């Protein structure tokens, strides 16, 4: 059983154990380094002792990255102090310090992206070896596994690659809430729900940090669109922030203590997130107990002194910030000037530098571990494939799947050749290969050779290669190939089943659009679906659609076809994972971590996304989060909006029965804020093949101090692989803290008194589930929060912009 248990601390400093034993670089190591269990306090004490020996210039040098050459998209590694070994394609460095007079030798640290695997250059000048990294499934697909143990394995595999390639800080995972399907970076993120986002991020963090690599949860906070992302001001009520946009970060921090966190580009209620002390100090550190370092996103914000004072310890990538058209003085110079004038105190630079150094001392370079440049890519490919298979979601299956291996398949769609392993930008990975869907299918079925040849020839003749705006990804595009209705009829005659693969890319720096070719199908795609369905159905043959997409697309066409497999962007093993699921070698067990609405216009933020141009300068500058806490299923369920596929939904080739749901313990009344509710339910495989089931617990809270969504996900767990007839009893624990709602009027997390209904359900569609109940006799104040934190800008109140929805 893999279960997300809120009570289990995933802190893993202690499990870096043997890695820590050898050779803390330089003269700061002492016999204490041989202890096997070290917590943050141990490294903090070491850091403080080192900081006491450092000059103010050395400390400030650690706070600001080395600078960036925008013409070549490379980091100025020559400016990094005490760099032991540079890594081509790294996103940044943290300067170390070498001062033999003072007896200090701290090696610089290496920082590399990104959420689907370690993004470094695959080749290096004057070096014959290669440095490929495993392309794992994108974040959304990983979350759709609902399998925290598997997410932890992916984190450990990526962390191991970081370690072996000499990377100290992994700039992942991305865990912003998928507020709207058109956010260009949704593929990097996990879910519309903060529990899923937080639990998966915590697991990935635990995995990576078990390898001694710092994990950097990002982008804190409310980075939910890409349009004018470096300046847009997101106006969000404190309650929506607390319950939706910060909640996942809180889970990850309190459960796994990531060693690093990256603030976001956007402003929040009037101020850049990296410059808000309430966000990065009061809430993150004082309320949640965060121990790690905080770094800026690359070129974020406009005032390094304000960033450092707020508690954003590290500013990347340093040099000149181009946010103001490059019209800023070099950041290090600005910081040094502020220090000389007394505007920046020793207390601030000491606190920031201590937090940075504390984490640097834990990581690979300063521990003298890893660095073989030879990770086990074959083992990691298997983990990538398993994650891809467990995350893909079977959305529809009208007796079309699985397809038995002897069958002849007519495989349509250019994305079967131009298969997308992931999105573009810093979330891309330089993997050694990507198995296309056509190649994967070809290993298990007989593909119509004429049709395959047609697509391959078309692709070779029409593909176009460009580089993304950041010089990071090579983007290969190709128009959809047209197949005539007459040809489709003959393919229907000569084959047993049709598979149509539709593709949609997305990337950093731009949002998607609700237009044909993006959220909507093109005319050509619609014709392809219609003509294939007509011709194959006329012969009594099935049509299967595979969606190789970055995120939600329109599915109003779903009735035309017999089966839909949502493959998202599955990483380098794409084709083999799709083939395993279509053939039944693997049984689908992924479930949606995001809703597929009936129409884009049903999305509660559809009318406000992605902001307004309030000063009419041609750029979006303000983004009012009009839907408040009603994001995703919280909206659709509360206001009875029909959806195409609900949150939490996914089919299997077997069937499951949920039995004996019960509340096995309720200590909320005896223990209050430290109490919890525990539920159990037995899941039985009532079908004929082995399968896993992700069970979810949704809570309907009683009316009380604050209005609440009809249901909220409060726990989930996935069974082990259950053979036909086998059962497993799952246990779900919900601590008071995660049951609570935020009462803005009183700055408190509270649990209202009354009867709570708990639905143990296969999806967020709980209509047919009989709930079990538990009671809270008196209102519980779970915690007080910082008064005035995260406030709306002066003169704006929640009522000015939040919509009052009705059924």
Residue 91 near ligand BGC by CB under 6 A: yes
DSSP, collapsed to helix, strand or coil, labels residue 498 as strand
Nearest residue (CB) to ligand BGC, 91 versus 766 = 91
Q: Is 69 a catalytic residue?
A: no
Minimum distance, C-beta of residue 58 to ligand BGC, in the bound complex (Å) = 25
CA distances from 612 to 176, 179, 619 (A): 21, 17, 8
Nearest residue (CB) to ligand BGC, 468 versus 765 = 468
Residue 439 near ligand BGC by CB under 6 A: no
How many chain residues touch ligand BGC (CB under 6 A)? 7
Residue 272 near ligand BGC by CB under 6 A: no
Residue 468 near ligand BGC by CB under 6 A: no
Instruction: State the Cα–Cα distance between residues 807 and 636, nearest whole angstrom.
Output: 9
Buried b (16+ CB within 10 A) or exposed e, 768-797: ebebbebebeeebebeebeeebbebeeeee
Instruction: State the Cα–Cα distance between residues 155 and 430, nearest whole angstrom.
Output: 17
Instruction: State the Cα–Cα distance between residues 687 and 409, nearest whole angstrom.
Output: 27
Beta bridge partners of 730: 681
Residue 647 near ligand BGC by CB under 6 A: no
Minimum distance, C-beta of residue 270 to ligand BGC, in the bound complex (Å) = 21
Residue 321 near ligand BGC by CB under 6 A: no
Which pair of tokens denotes residue 210? Answer: 């078990």
Write phi, then psi, for 229 (nearest 5 degrees): -60, -25
- Report the residue from 94, 171, 403, 563 that binds ligand BGC according to the rule CB under 6 A: 171
Nearest residue (CB) to ligand BGC, 298 versus 491 = 298
Minimum distance, C-beta of residue 311 to ligand BGC, in the bound complex (Å) = 19
What separation, in Å, do the N-terminal and C-terminal C-alpha atoms of the chain show?
A: 39
Instruction: State the Cα–Cα distance between residues 588 and 656, nearest whole angstrom.
Output: 13
Residue 94 near ligand BGC by CB under 6 A: no
Residue 511 near ligand BGC by CB under 6 A: no
Residue 133 near ligand BGC by CB under 6 A: no
CA distances from 540 to 488, 496, 525, 612, 731 (A): 14, 9, 22, 51, 45
My answer on whether omega of the bond before 114 falls inside 30° of 0, hence cis, is: yes
CA distances from 451 to 35, 409, 436, 675 (A): 63, 10, 15, 62
- Report the residue from 365, 426, 473, 622 that binds ligand BGC according to the rule CB under 6 A: 426
Residue 728 near ligand BGC by CB under 6 A: no
Residue 573 near ligand BGC by CB under 6 A: no
CB 501 within 8 A of CB 412: yes
Residue 90 near ligand BGC by CB under 6 A: no
Supply the DSSP string of 53-71, one letter for each residue.
TS-HHHHHHHHB-B-EETT
Instruction: State the Cα–Cα distance between residues 369 and 166, nearest whole angstrom.
Output: 9
Minimum distance, C-beta of residue 318 to ligand BGC, in the bound complex (Å) = 12
Nearest residue (CB) to ligand BGC, 212 versus 507 = 507
CA distances from 557 to 46, 167, 181, 526 (A): 61, 45, 18, 8
Minimum distance, C-beta of residue 528 to ligand BGC, in the bound complex (Å) = 35
Minimum distance, C-beta of residue 426 to ligand BGC, in the bound complex (Å) = 4
Instruction: State the Cα–Cα distance between residues 134 and 722, nearest whole angstrom.
Output: 29
Residue 297 near ligand BGC by CB under 6 A: yes
Marked catalytic residue, from 105, 297, 352, 511: 297
Nearest residue (CB) to ligand BGC, 120 versus 171 = 171
Residue 167 near ligand BGC by CB under 6 A: no
Nearest residue (CB) to ligand BGC, 91 versus 564 = 91
Instruction: State the Cα–Cα distance between residues 350 and 53, nearest whole angstrom.
Output: 11
- Report the residue from 298, 596, 645, 649 that binds ligand BGC according to the rule CB under 6 A: 298
Nearest residue (CB) to ligand BGC, 87 versus 171 = 171
Which pair of tokens denotes residue 696? Answer: 């979810």
Minimum distance, C-beta of residue 323 to ligand BGC, in the bound complex (Å) = 12
Minimum distance, C-beta of residue 469 to ligand BGC, in the bound complex (Å) = 10
Residue 287 near ligand BGC by CB under 6 A: no
Residue 113 near ligand BGC by CB under 6 A: yes
Query: Which residues 193-222 are close enough to bind ligand BGC by CB under 6 A?
Result: 218
Active site residues: 297
Q: Which residues bind ligand BGC (CB under 6 A)?
A: 91, 113, 171, 218, 297-298, 426
């Amino acid at each position: 059983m893999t279960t997300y248990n809120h009570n289990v601390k995933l802190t893993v400093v202690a499990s870096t154990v043997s890695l820590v034993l050898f050779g803390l670089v330089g003269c700061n190591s002492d016999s204490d380094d041989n202890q096997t269990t070290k917590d943050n306090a141990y490294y903090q004490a070491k850091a403080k002792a080192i900081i006491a020996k450092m000059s103010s210039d050395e400390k400030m040098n650690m706070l600001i990255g080395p600078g960036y050459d925008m013409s070549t998209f490379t980091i100025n590694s020559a400016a990094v102090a005490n760099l032991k070994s540079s890594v081509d394609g790294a996103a940044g460095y943290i300067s170390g310090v070498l001062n033999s007079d003072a007896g200090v030798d701290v090696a610089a640290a290496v920082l590399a992206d990104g959420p689907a695997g370690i993004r470094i250059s695959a080749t290096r000048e004057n070096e014959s070896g290669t440095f490929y990294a495993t392309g794992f499934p994108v974040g959304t697909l990983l979350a759709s596994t609902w399998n925290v143990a598997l997410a932890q394995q992916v984190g450990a595999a990526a962390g191991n690659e970081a370690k072996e390639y000499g990377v100290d800080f992994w700039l992942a995972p991305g865990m912003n809430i998928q507020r709207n399907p058109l956010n260009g970076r949704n593929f990097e993120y996990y879910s519309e729900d903060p529990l899923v986002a937080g639990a998966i991020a915590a697991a990935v963090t635990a995995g990576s940090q078990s390898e001694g690599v710092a994990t950097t949860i990002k982008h804190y906070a409310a980075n939910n669109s890409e349009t004018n992302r470096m300046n847009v001001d997101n106006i969000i009520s404190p309650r929506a922030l607390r319950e939706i946009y910060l909640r996942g970060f809180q889970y990850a921090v309190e459960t796994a203590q990531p060693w690093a966190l990256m603030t976001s580009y956007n402003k929040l209620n009037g101020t850049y997130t990296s410059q808000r002390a309430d966000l990065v100090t009061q809430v993150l550190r004082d309320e949640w107990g965060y121990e790690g370092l905080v770094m800026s996103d690359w070129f974020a914000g406009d005032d390094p002194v304000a960033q450092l004072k707020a508690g954003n310890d590290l500013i990347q990538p340093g040099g000149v910030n181009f946010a103001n058209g490059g019209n800023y003085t070099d950041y290090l110079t600005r910081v040094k000037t502020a220090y000389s004038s007394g505007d920046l105190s020793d207390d601030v630079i000491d606190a920031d530098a201590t937090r940075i150094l504390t984490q640097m001392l834990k990581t690979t370079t300063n521990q003298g571990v890893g660095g073989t440049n030879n990770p086990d890519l074959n083992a990691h490919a298997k983990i990538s494939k398993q994650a891809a298979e467990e995350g893909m979601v079977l959305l529809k299956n009208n007796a079309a799947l699985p397809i038995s291996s002897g069958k002849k398949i007519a495989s349509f769609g250019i994305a079967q050749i131009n298969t997308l392993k992931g999105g573009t930008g810093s979330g891309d990975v330089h993997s050694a290969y990507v198995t296309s869907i056509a190649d994967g299918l070809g290993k298990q079925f007989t593909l119509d050779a004429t049709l395959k040849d047609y697509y391959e020839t078309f692709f070779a003749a029409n593909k176009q290669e460009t580089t993304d705006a950041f010089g990071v990804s090579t983007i290969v595009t190709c128009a959809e190939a047209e197949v005539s209705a007459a040809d489709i009829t003959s393919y229907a005659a000569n084959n047993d089943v049709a598979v149509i693969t539709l593709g949609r890319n997305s990337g950093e720096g731009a949002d998607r659009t609700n237009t044909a070719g993006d959220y909507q199908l093109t005319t050509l795609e619609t014709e392809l679906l219609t003509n294939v369905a007509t011709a194959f159905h006329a012969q009594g043959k099935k049509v299967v659609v595979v969606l190789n997409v970055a995120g939600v697309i329109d599915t109003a066409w779903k009735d035309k076809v017999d089966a839909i497999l949502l493959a998202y962007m599955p990483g380098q093993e794409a084709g083999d994972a799709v083939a395993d699921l279509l053939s039944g070698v693997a049984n689908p067990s992924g479930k949606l971590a995001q809703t597929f609405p009936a129409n884009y216009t049903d999305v509660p933020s559809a009318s406000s996304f992605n902001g307004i141009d309030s000063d009419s300068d041609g750029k979006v500058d303000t983004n009012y989060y009009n839907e408040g806490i009603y994001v995703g299923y919280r909206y659709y369920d509360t206001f009875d909006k029909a959806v195409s596929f609900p949150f939490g939904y996914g089919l299997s080739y077997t069937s499951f029965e949920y039995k004996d749901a019960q509340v096995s313990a309720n200590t909320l009344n005896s223990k209050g804020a430290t109490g919890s509710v525990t539920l159990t339910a037995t899941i039985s495989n009532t079908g004929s093949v082995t399968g896993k089931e992700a069970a979810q617990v949704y809570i309907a809270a009683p009316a009380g101090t604050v209005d609440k969504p009809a249901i909220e996900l409060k726990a989930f767990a996935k069974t082990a692989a259950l053979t036909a007839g086998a059962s497993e009893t799952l246990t779900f624990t919900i601590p008071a803290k995660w049951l609570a709602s935020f009462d803005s009027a009183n700055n408190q997390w509270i649990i209202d008194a009354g009867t709570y209904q708990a639905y143990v359900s296969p999806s967020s569609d709980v209509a047919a589930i009989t709930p079990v109940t538990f009671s809270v006799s008196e209102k519980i104040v779970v915690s007080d929060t910082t008064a005035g934190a995260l406030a709306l800008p002066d003169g704006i109140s929640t009522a000015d912009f939040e919509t009052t929805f009705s059924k």
